[in-house]
């Protein structure tokens, strides 16, 4: 298989191969020697760039004594690496594996743009707020709620001055009652503390403008230093990562329009503060 640029599904596949190799205690160089490969070939696989056939991938995973279920998962990902985009159905048990790919891509991103139409953005949710949101989903059982909330909370580790975050949030998302009045106050107060950080910008799209550019729904755009940008869209039972140029251009237009429609940072801060009174 020819080498190619890295994609979301390719990077997810590469992460799995890296884990398989690390589980053996051997280096990539030693694995390459045992397979009679160039070390660069193993490196390309780990980086999600292909460069091997499906039979060769299966041989590598067999050498690593990877469990059968994980081999099936990785080979499925490998077959999808030629596609531009990644449609990922949630696991049947609904546990945080459904967030694993998003978290991994957020950690690689240098610029994060979020449009949140109905709720405070996931990255900015405090655990209690997230708990109320998760338990309201009818397909999630009470046993799964705690684990999913913990996985969502772990996403907040992505905040660092080396990255830039821009959140466009509709005013209705800030006004929607989630849990008690005390919880809403705690969430809004935390939001005000977060936007003090110079690398975090929150822009509110006010109710007063009526219809707006983001009516199609919430999404996240991730920009990378070494990879092509990605747009992430989430529904009840699947996650969609869009990478084709046409989709990226369309979502860029939405972000451009939201930027024009949203209040500036100071006005947004004043609106959030007013909701606490």
Domain boundaries, the chain: 8-80, 86-275
CA 141 to chain centre: 23
User: What pLDDT shows up at residue 2?
Assistant: 41
Q: Which of 236, 252, 230 is nearest to 86 (CA)?
A: 230
Q: How confident is the model at residue 75 (pLDDT cuts 50, 70, 90)?
A: confident
What value does the mean pLDDT of the chain take? Answer: 88
Task: State yes or no: pLDDT of 84 exceeds 70.
Answer: no
DSSP label of 239: E
| Contact yes or no for 173/207 (Cβ under 8 A) | no
Residues 239-260 have pLDDT tens digits of 788 988 999 999 999 999 999 9
Q: Of the CATH numbers 3.30.870.10, 3.10.20.600, 3.40.50.880, 3.20.20.150, which one belongs to the domain with range 86-275? A: 3.30.870.10
Residues 142-189 have pLDDT tens digits of 888 888 898 888 888 899 999 999 999 999 999 999 999 999 999 999
Q: How confident is the model at residue 1 (pLDDT cuts 50, 70, 90)?
A: very low
178 φ/ψ sector (left φ>0, alpha ψ -120 to 50, else beta): beta
Average pLDDT of the segment spanning 196-225: 96
CA distance 206 to 144: 35
Task: State yes or no: pLDDT of 97 exceeds 70.
Answer: no
User: What pLDDT shows up at residue 212?
Assistant: 96
Task: State yes or no: pLDDT of 235 exceeds 50.
Answer: yes
Handedness of CA 81, 224, 113, 133 (dihedral sign): positive
Domains 8-80 and 86-275 share a fold: no
Handedness of CA 103, 78, 218, 270 (dihedral sign): positive
| DSSP H helical ranges for 176-244 | 181-194
Global pTM reads: 0.76
Q: How confident is the model at residue 93 (pLDDT cuts 50, 70, 90)?
A: low
User: What pLDDT shows up at residue 3?
Assistant: 42
User: What pLDDT shows up at residue 183?
Assistant: 97
Residues 106-154 have pLDDT tens digits of 999 999 999 999 999 999 999 999 999 999 988 788 888 888 898 888 8
CA distance 41 to 44: 5
SS3 for 14-77 is HHHHHHHHHHHCCCHHHHHHHHCCCHHHHHHHHCCCECCCHHHHHHHHHHCCCCHHHHHHHHHH
- The angle at the Cα of 271, spanning 266 to 276, to the nearest 5 degrees, equals 125
| H-helix or E-strand spanning residue 89 | strand 86-89
Average pLDDT of the segment spanning 49-54: 81
Tell me which CATH homologous superfamily contains domain 8-80.
lambda repressor-like DNA-binding domains (1.10.260.40)
**CA distances (Å), origin 167, targets 71, 158, 173, 204, 263:** 38, 14, 12, 8, 12
């Amino acid at each position: 298989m020819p080498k190619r640029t890295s994609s979301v599904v390719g990077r997810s596949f590469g992460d799995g191969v890296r884990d398989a190799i690390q589980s053996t205690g051997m280096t990539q160089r030693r694995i390459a020697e045992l397979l009679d490969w160039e070390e660069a070939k193993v490196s390309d696989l780990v980086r999600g760039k292909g460069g091997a056939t499906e039979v060769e991938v299966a041989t590598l995973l067999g050498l690593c004594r990877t469990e059968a279920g994980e081999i099936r998962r990785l080979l499925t990902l490998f077959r999808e690496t030629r596609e531009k985009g990644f449609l990922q159905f949630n696991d049947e048990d609904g546990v945080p594996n459904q967030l694993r790919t998003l978290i991994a891509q957020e950690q690689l991103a240098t610029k994060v743009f979020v449009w949140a139409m109905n709720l405070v953005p996931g990255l900015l949710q405090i655990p209690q707020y997230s708990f109320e949101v998760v338990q309201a989903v009818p397909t999630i059982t009470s046993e799964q709620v705690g684990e999913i909330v913990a996985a969502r909370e772990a996403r907040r580790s992505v905040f660092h001055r080396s990255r830039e975050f821009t959140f466009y949030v509709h005013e209705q998302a800030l006004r929607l009652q989630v849990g008690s009045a005390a919880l809403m106050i705690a969430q809004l107060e935390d939001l005000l503390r977060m936007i003090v950080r110079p690398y975090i910008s929150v822009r509110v799209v006010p109710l007063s403008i009526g219809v707006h550019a983001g009516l199609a729904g919430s999404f996240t755009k991730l920009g990378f230093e070494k990879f092509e940008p990605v747009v992430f869209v989430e529904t009840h039972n699947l996650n969609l990562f869009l990478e084709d140029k046409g989709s990226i251009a369309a979502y860029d237009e939405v972000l451009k329009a939201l930027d024009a429609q949203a209040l500036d940072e100071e006005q947004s801060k004043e609106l959030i503060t007013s909701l606490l009174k």
